[in-house]
Chain A
Amino acid sequence: MAPALIVLAAIFVYPLVDAFITSLMRWNLISNVKRWTGFGNYVAIFSDPAFPGVVRVTFIYSALSLFFEFSLGLALALMVRAGLRRALLGFPLMRVLILAPLLVAPLLWAFYFRSFYSPQFGLFNQVLEGLGLPTVLWVNDKNLAIFSLVLADVWQWTPFMFAILLAGLMALPTDVVEAARMDGAGGWRILFAIELPMLRPVLLVTLLIRTIDSLRYLDLVLVITQGGPGRSTEILNFLAYRTSFQEFQLGRGAALAFIVLALVMLAAAALLRVMWKASR
């Protein structure tokens, strides 16, 4: 037990405690001046008039990404399952190809989309121009930028949802479904009344993982929009990054990181509670 506790303390507890102590200091990394400030960093963050807007953007980004990833992932899983069951041509290959975006490193994915979204030189607008359609200011319009980031996020992470949901669907017992069919239940009824409830534990685990990921995500904002135009895509994690590594304010950056941690823990706790209730 002792070695495991030592390892746990070394790689988890100590860095967490050290980061929390850092969050209680004003620490400029350039001048290396450190000053104890208690909860001053947290007070400054919560009293910043821009902070509610940042939290709102974070939740919008996460909620939209989760909704579309889940919906599209489930739709793809149902479609591929139907194809596999009927042994239709191409579906085994399709199952593999759908996973392709997951093979690309998130940072590379962000760089690809940065070039795709370029207003004059990006692939997307060149395609639109080629089709005779008007071009779009994907990430250069403050009203569209957040949705463009959601698109990039959904494109990469829907396959993750798809893979887990497909595995869950394929593992469902068929006898219950067969019995329902014999009683005259249609496809949609079976899906919503029988299959999805049975899939609930898998759904909740998948949502838990993606919720944590989406609240922690940084790559797309950092590479593509840097929080702009204006502050329309400024999410909490980007604010923490900018504060720590552009402004070199480690104390306030650590405080922001702890706020992100608290949000992730809250979201995880809520989902785990639902899972626990479902398992009872």
Chain B
Amino acid sequence: MTDKTKSGMAWTRRDFLTRTALASGAVMGGLSGASPRGLFSPALAADEKTINVLTLGEGIFGDPFVKLAGDFTKATGIKVNNVTMGYNESMQKQAAVFAAQGTDLDVVGVDYMFLKGYAKAGHLAALDPLIPTELADYYSDTPANLKDVWSLDGQTYGLATVGNCQNFIYNEGHLKDVGLEAPDTWDALLSAAQKVVSEEKKRYGFVAGTERLTKAVTVWLPMFWAGGGELFDDKMHPVFASDTGTKSLEFLLELMKTMPPGGGAYTESDEIKALSVGLATLDPTSWVPDSIKNADDATKPNLKTHVAPMGSARRAPVLGGIGLCVSNYSPQKEAAAAFVAWFNSKDVQVGKIVEAGGQPCRISAWEANADAKPWFRSLSENLKVAKSLPQIPEWGQVDGAISAQLTQAFAGEIKPKDALEAAQAGVDEVMKDAGYY
């Protein structure tokens, strides 16, 4: 390369590297000076009233926040930059941003399992001083258990926004074919699942997503809880390897014998498809209504929903829910809180959120939209009795320890009692290591 400023003199390699580095540094410094938040700030626009909102991209936990962002902007003048991704990616991103105390995100869709851990770590802003009037109105119109789930030490750190829990979807046509109605108890469900199986008709009984990372534990839990079981005692010792635990896992394995072939390692999409094409009959642990939405013409009229089955102690569908929280590192907490408040306001919950593809969390909104979707009535009843997963930062490890053993039991590698004992020992190590005792 020849330096044109001094004709006849060539650049050495050292000269090239040095000058390139200096030039790059000058450019980087200039750019970072130009932006109010720095070079890598996502808000390169000079407008301070733009908030970054992290939610899922689609489905009930994503569609409303994307589709209604424009309405929010019209109502408040605050612009929204939607940052959307899948569930796993969203959970990983927010954990990383919080750990780095990043200012990239203003509003974050947090799974309630992690709410208390994040709040304790100081990652979330308390909403009480930011939206006190809206909170009072909100709590007057939501089930009592929601306040406990979304609060820590008397302060609210998130609002549920989209209500969800496990729902019971079943094929009425298959049951009528064998002279049965929708089962109300777990025992009746097992009996119905066994009766309805027909190899010639390619018809099977129970169906659930049994894969490890997202499903195995929450398939077993409703049966375990319905039988009166608890995961932990009041000192956080794991106590689930009990008679109730073993019986519930044995019960689940009996149910799994009525699944389509390969059911021991079924993905959520296998589960949804099996119900939507009429292959399976009973899905009491369904998280999304996609099997109804996507059912073929022959199956759709037969797919109905019911309240969660009753056990010897209670009905206990697992509570779900990704709510909206304000990042404690957000430089625009008031604007972010306004977003949370707007999406949880009565007008939006009653009149907009269902149309935009979501599900409400307010009692009045469920009542007003009871017939908006075929699965809403049973879902709103289930929400009243849904039980939340332990809201501890170690839940990921606990879930991992239990699901590793459950999937081995599903595969027939170990007996239910041995699986639960090994799982309990694993969880015990986790809790000890975390300092609970």
- On whether the two chains bind one another, the answer is yes
- Give residues in A with beta carbon < 8 Å to B: 3-4, 26, 28-33, 50, 114, 118-121, 135, 137, 139-142, 145, 225-232, 242-243, 245-249
**A30-B121, A30-B396, A32-B98 as given contacts; A230 in contact with B88, CB under 8 Å:** no
28 contacts between A and B (CB under 8 A): A28-B434, A30-B117, A30-B396, A31-B117, A31-B121, A32-B98, A32-B121, A32-B123, A50-B404, A120-B262, A120-B270, A120-B273, A120-B274, A121-B270, A121-B277, A137-B261, A137-B262, A140-B266, A225-B265, A227-B212, A228-B265, A229-B265, A229-B411, A243-B400, A245-B92, A246-B88, A246-B399, A248-B397
User: B397–A247 contact, CB under 8 A?
Assistant: yes
Q: SS class of chain A's interface: helix, strand, loop or mixed?
A: loop
Give CA–CA (A243, B120) in the complex, Å.
22
**A118-B270, A247-B397 as given contacts; A231 in contact with B407, CB under 8 Å:** yes
Of B260, B264, B277, B393, the residue contacting A28 (CB under 8 A) is B393
Q: Report the minimal beta-carbon distance from A107 to chain B, rounded to whole angstroms.
A: 12
Q: Knowing that A229-B411, A242-B400 are A-B contacts, what are 6 other residue pairs whose CB atoms are under 8 Å apart, sorted by A's residue number? A: A3-B17, A30-B114, A140-B264, A142-B411, A231-B407, A246-B213
User: B396–A248 contact, CB under 8 A?
Assistant: yes
Q: Report the minimal beta-carbon distance from B281 to chain A, rounded to whole angstroms.
A: 14
Which 8 residue pairs of A and B lie closest in terms of their CB atoms, listed nearest first? A140-B262, A119-B262, A230-B411, A31-B393, A30-B393, A247-B396, A30-B117, A229-B265
Question: Closest residue of chain A to B118, judged by CB?
Answer: A30
Chain B residues with Cβ below 8 Å from A28 are 117, 393-394, 434
Of B95, B211, B264, the residue contacting A248 (CB under 8 A) is B95
* A30, A50, A246 — most chain B CB neighbours (10 Å): A30
**A118-B270, A121-B270, A246-B400 as given contacts; A229 in contact with B95, CB under 8 Å:** no
Question: Closest residue of chain A to B114, judged by CB?
Answer: A30
Chain B residues with Cβ below 8 Å from A26 are 433
Chain A residues with Cβ below 8 Å from B277 are 121
- Give residues in B with beta carbon < 8 Å to A: 17-18, 21, 88, 92, 95-96, 98-99, 114, 117-118, 120-121, 123, 211-213, 260-267, 269-270, 273-274, 277, 279, 393-394, 396-397, 399-400, 404, 407-408, 410-413, 433-434
User: A231–B404 contact, CB under 8 A?
Assistant: yes
Of B21, B274, B399, B408, the residue contacting A231 (CB under 8 A) is B408
Chain A residues with Cβ below 8 Å from B393 are 28, 30-31, 33, 248
Q: Report the minimal beta-carbon distance from B15 to chain A, rounded to whole angstroms.
A: 12
Question: Closest residue of chain A to B92, judged by CB?
Answer: A245
User: A249–B397 contact, CB under 8 A?
Assistant: yes
Q: Report the minimal beta-carbon distance from B434 to chain A, rounded to whole angstroms.
A: 7
Of B212, B397, B408, B434, the residue contacting A226 (CB under 8 A) is B212
Give CA–CA (A26, B413) in the complex, Å.
31
User: A140–B265 contact, CB under 8 A?
Assistant: yes
Question: Closest residue of chain A to B433, judged by CB?
Answer: A26
Give CA–CA (A248, B394) in the complex, Å.
8
Give CA–CA (A135, B261) in the complex, Å.
10
Q: Report the minimal beta-carbon distance from A267 to chain B, rounded to whole angstroms.
A: 27
Chain B residues with Cβ below 8 Å from A120 are 260-262, 270, 273-274, 279
* B98, B213, B260, B274 — most chain A CB neighbours (10 Å): B213
Q: Report the minimal beta-carbon distance from B96 to chain A, rounded to whole angstroms.
A: 7
Chain A residues with Cβ below 8 Å from B270 are 118-121
Chain B residues with Cβ below 8 Å from A50 are 404
Q: Report the minimal beta-carbon distance from B183 to chain A, rounded to whole angstroms.
A: 24
Q: Report the minimal beta-carbon distance from B253 to chain A, rounded to whole angstroms.
A: 13
Question: Closest residue of chain B to A223, judged by CB?
Answer: B267
Give CA–CA (A264, B434) in the complex, Å.
32
Chain A residues with Cβ below 8 Å from B400 are 242-243, 246-247
Q: Report the minimal beta-carbon distance from B295 to chain A, rounded to whole angstroms.
A: 14
Question: Closest residue of chain B to A234, judged by CB?
Answer: B404
User: B120–A31 contact, CB under 8 A?
Assistant: yes
**A140-B265, A249-B397 as given contacts; A229 in contact with B404, CB under 8 Å:** no
Q: Report the minimal beta-carbon distance from B305 to chain A, rounded to whole angstroms.
A: 23
Give CA–CA (A139, B260) in the complex, Å.
14
Give CA–CA (A232, B269) in the complex, Å.
21
Q: Report the minimal beta-carbon distance from B61 to chain A, rounded to whole angstroms.
A: 18
Give CA–CA (A31, B265) in the complex, Å.
32
User: B410–A229 contact, CB under 8 A?
Assistant: yes
Chain B residues with Cβ below 8 Å from A247 are 396-397, 399-400
Of B279, B397, B407, the residue contacting A229 (CB under 8 A) is B407
User: B95–A232 contact, CB under 8 A?
Assistant: no
